Amino acid sequence: MRHLLSARDLDHAAAVHVLDTAEAMAATQARTLKKLPTLRGRTVVNLFFEDSTRTRISFEAAAKRLSADVINFSAKGSSVSKGESLKDTAQTLQAMGVDGVVIRHQASGAPYRLAHSGWIDVPVLNAGDGTHQHPTQALLDAFTLRRHLHAAGAAGSVPAPEGSDLGGASVVIVGDVLHSRVARSNVELLTTLGARVTLVAPPTLLPVGMEAWPCTVRHDLDEAIAVDRPDAIMMLRVQRERMSFAGGGFFPSPPEYHRRYGLDGARLRALPEHAIVMHPGPMNRGLEISAEAADSPRSTIVEQVANGVSVRMAVLYLLLAGDQNEGTGL
Ligand code: NCD
């Protein structure tokens, strides 16, 4: 595999291989000296056309811990039309001799275009495109879940056994599925790894054509908690910036949304005792998730951020170091 554009790029063996590699990376991150020489002399560009806090910093930390040089390019505010600016930027990067591009773009499909246009001839990693895909987020979620499945109770996280998957785990993903590349990537990757996924959302926040997705769909969160008995519940951010105006008519009001789809204290207590609470961040506290749930001992939200660095180190290593180290590539 040359690029990572979609969770669909990973079959079961490849996904498990990334998670196992991320465990090896995580072990190095427990040391005082966190830097590995693996990508010394390589240059990675972070090309961010859309806002990001943790994904950009996480990719930067991951590349630096592998000793790569990192160039951060934030395209916010550019007035050039999307296609042209992407092509011009790609050709500039190619001319400067970069070895890998991490791209986040508001247009679904932009990373695919970059990878297959011929404008640039290096591995492309999708760090989130429009409402389409966010494969490294799904990988870090799978990594976090795999660790907890092998620990006793919600508070524990241990390195998962090599070669293990998510066989039989029940995952409930709740909220703004319509605008969520995190939900799309997770449905694909988690089911590839053997988990059962249930999506819970109001009908207005579900995309058309869901029948083809390999998951169950419900509109009632309490029913999902009672029937699906989740090992993990993943709350999605209500993406107000992708709704045409505040509230957007997608739901009656924020308090009403919270009442029906928010993870409050009562729902937290209704979860199975070992269940973990996940959120990709950034959170709307009080809307999709209460402070009580976000800050509870079963919340893995901060842990997900830490795991993101290990997972991105693994992906950068597998895609960029492949030709130096025979047999390590995907
Ligand atoms: C997500 C994203 O940007 O797609 N966040 C992230 O990468 N941590 C989810 C979101 O913005 O709600």
Cα–Cα separations (whole angstroms), residue 193 to 17, 47, 187: 11, 30, 10
Specify the pLDDT at position 325.
Answer: 47
State pLDDT tens for residues 213-228: 999 999 999 999 999 9
147 and 284 in a single domain? The answer is yes
Residue 202: CATH number of its domain: 3.40.50.1370
Residue 177 and residue 283 share a domain: yes
Residue 189 has phi, psi (to 5 degrees) of: -70, -45
- Closest Cα partner for 155 from 236, 264, 273, 268? 273
| pLDDT tens by residue, 77-90 | 554 455 667 888 88
* Ligand 1 atom 7, closest CA: 55
Considering the domain architecture, whether residues 232 and 213 belong to the same structural domain is answered as yes
Ligand 1 pocket, mutate which of 108, 131, 137 (most atoms under 8 A from CB): 137
The pLDDT of residue 275 is: 96
User: What would the mean pLDDT of 295-308 be, rounded to a whole number?
Assistant: 97
Q: How confident is the model at residue 103 (pLDDT cuts 50, 70, 90)?
A: very high
pLDDT tens-digit series, residues 45-84: 999 998 888 999 999 999 999 999 999 888 765 544 556 6
Is 218 a domain residue? yes
Q: Which two tokens stand for residue 44?
A: 């990675």
Q: Which atom of ligand 1 is nearest to the CA of 237?
A: 12
Percent of the residues in the chain that have a pLDDT greater than 70, as a whole number: 92
Query: How many Å lie between the centroid of ligand 1 and the Cα of residue 40?
Result: 29
Closest CA to 258 of 224, 297, 291, 298: 291
Ligand 1 atom nearest 308 alpha carbon: 8
Q: How many CB atoms lie within 10 A of CB 52?
A: 17
Asked if residue 27 has pLDDT above 70, the reply is yes
If asked whether residues 154 and 261 sit together in one domain, one would say yes
99 found inside a domain: yes
Kindly state whether residues 151 and 294 are assigned to the same domain.
Answer: yes
| Shared domain check, 144 and 283 | yes
> In this model, does residue 16 exceed pLDDT 90?
yes
Instruction: Clarify whether residues 192 and 284 are in a common domain.
Output: yes
> What is the per-residue pLDDT for 329?
53
Locate 238 and state its tokens: 């209500």
Domain of 147, in residue numbers: 135-304
Answer whether residue 1 is part of any domain: no
Residues 53 and 20 grouped into a single domain:
yes
Q: Let me know if residue 17 belongs to a domain.
A: yes
Task: Tell which residue, 46, 10, 20, 26, has the closest CA to residue 303.
Answer: 26
What is the predicted pLDDT for the residue at 246?
A: 52
What is the number of domains present in the chain? Answer: 2
For residue 41, what is the DSSP state? T
For 292, how many CA atoms within 13 A lie in the half-sphere containing its CB?
A: 8
Q: Catalogue the E-assigned strands of 150-284.
A: 170-174, 196-200, 216-218, 232-235, 276-278
Is 168 inside a domain boundary?
Answer: yes
Q: Rounded to an integer, what distance in angstroms lies between the CA atom of residue 32 and that of residue 164?
A: 28
**Full-model pTM:** 0.94
Instruction: Indicate if 127 and 142 belong to the same structural domain.
Output: no
Closest atom of ligand 1 relative to the 104 alpha carbon: 3
pLDDT at 240 over 90: no
185 and 62, same structural domain? no
CA dist., res. 80 & res. 246, Å (int): 27
Q: Judge whether 2 lies within some domain.
A: no
pLDDT at residue 79, as a whole number: 46
- In this structure, the answer to whether residues 316 and 264 fall within a common structural domain is no
Kindly state whether residue 234 falls inside one of the protein's structural domains: yes
Q: Using a 6 Å CB cutoff, which residues line ligand 1?
A: 54-55, 128, 134, 137, 181-182, 237, 239, 280-281
Ligand 1 atom nearest the C-alpha of 176 is 12
Task: Please indicate, yes or no, whether residues 145 and 265 belong to a single structural domain of this protein.
Answer: yes
pLDDT in the model for residue 105:
94
Alpha carbons 258 and 240: distance in angstroms, whole number: 14
